[in-house]
Amino acid sequence: MKAGCSRPPWGCDARRCSRPALRVPRALTPALFLCCVSAQAAETAIAGEDPAEAEQRRAISHGMDDKRGPRFGERKLGPLGVDASGGAAVGSGVRGSFGRVFTQGLDPGWYGRLELSAFTAASLHASGPVGGALIGGEFWTAPDAAGGGLPMSFYFGLRSPAVISTLGGGFELFIVDDVKDDTGFGLYAPFGAFALGIEAGGVRILAEGRAQFRWQWGADDRTQLSVGLSIAHVFENEVPTIVENDSPRVPQQR
- State residue 238's pLDDT score: 85
pLDDT band of residue 87 (cuts 50, 70, 90) is confident
Looking at every residue in the chain, the average pLDDT score rounds to 78
Average pLDDT over residues 148-173: 95
Indicate if the pLDDT at residue 134 is higher than 90.
yes
Compute the distance between CA of residue 235 and CA of residue 92 in angstroms, rounded to an integer: 6
Out of 31-35, 118-122, 173-177, 223-227, least confident range: 31-35
Alpha-carbon separation of residue 116 from 67, 180, 194, 204, 231 (angstroms): 42, 32, 17, 14, 12
CB atoms within 10 A of CB 34: 10
Contact 5, 15 (CB under 8 A): no
Residue 239 banded pLDDT, cuts 50, 70, 90: confident
Which is more confidently placed, 145 or 70?
145
23: pLDDT strictly greater than 70:
no
pLDDT (mean) for 34-52: 58
- pLDDT score, position 203: 94
Confidence at residue 46, expressed as pLDDT on a 0 to 100 scale: 53
Mean local confidence (pLDDT), 36-63:
61
CB neighbourhood size of 122 (10 A): 16
- pLDDT for position 184: 94
User: What confidence tens digit (pLDDT) does each residue in 204-227 have?
Assistant: 999 999 999 999 998 899 999 999
Share of the chain above pLDDT 90, in %: 51
Task: Report the helix count and the strand count for the chain, using DSSP H and E.
Answer: 2, 8
Please give the Cα distance from 114 to 151 (Å, whole number): 10
Compare 37 and 182 and report the one with higher pLDDT: 182
- Is the model more confident about 98 or about 46? 98
Q: Which of 148-152, 157-161, 167-171 has the lowest mean pLDDT?
A: 157-161
Which residue did the predictor score with more confidence, 40 or 200? 200
Tell me the C-alpha distance between 187 and 174, whole Å.
4
Nearest to 113 by CA among 93, 99, 131: 99
- Residue 90 near residue 253, CB atoms below 8 Å: no
pTM above 0.85, yes or no: no
Once rounded to an integer, what is the mean pLDDT over residues 38-53? Answer: 59
- Is 80 exceeded by the pLDDT of residue 24? no
